[in-house]
Amino acid sequence: MTAYDDQNIFAKILRGEIPNVTVYEDDDTLCFMDIMPRTDGHCLVIPKTPCRNVLDASDAQLASVMATVKKVANAAKVAFEADGITLQQFNEAAGGQEVFHLHFHIHPRHEGVLMRPPGKMGDMDAIKAHADAIRAAL
């Protein structure tokens, strides 16, 4: 497996070299807003320690990340009065992964509403308001 590259964008976020809109953090994990949100409330959960994805993550990394995913997913469901939550997680380029630091996407979903296409920058004021809403529900 390819080695972890500490120049990936999420490693830079963890080092504070790039700003982020934080939703939640604890000793082991960070949850922040995706800058190209495919749903209102689209956020990402990452471990604070390095691993590329599920394939090389330790059981401890996965356990702490999943605990945060569950916590934030429930808060996002309340905050957006969502009917459901979609989790996305990609492994290696062939699996759809673009940033090579383990992350889970959390998407609040509503009946009959499709996710937006990927790759479009979101409005920062809206993203910050969505983070506030999730934080308030935590």
**Residues contributing to the site for ligand 5GP (CB under 6 A):** 9, 18, 20, 32-36, 90, 96-99, 103
Of 103, 105, 89, 3, the C-alpha closest to 48 is: 103
Q: Can you name the residues that pair with 31 across neighbouring β-strands?
A: 24, 45
Of 101, 103, 105, 130, which residue is the catalytic one? 103
Our answer to whether residue 103 is catalytic in this structure is: yes
Q: Of the two residues 80 and 104, which places its CB atom closer to ligand 5GP in the complex?
A: 104
Q: Quote the least distance from Cβ 87 to ligand 5GP, whole Å.
A: 11
Q: Of the two residues 77 and 103, which places its CB atom closer to ligand 5GP in the complex?
A: 103
Q: Of the two residues 1 and 81, which places its CB atom closer to ligand 5GP in the complex?
A: 1
Helix axes 124-137, 59-79, angle to 10 degrees: 100
Of 79, 102, 92, the C-alpha closest to 30 is: 102
Q: Which residue is nearest to ligand 5GP (CB)?
A: 36
Kindly report the CA angle at 132 between 51 and 82, in degrees rounded to 5? Answer: 85
The residues annotated with a catalytic role in the active site are 103
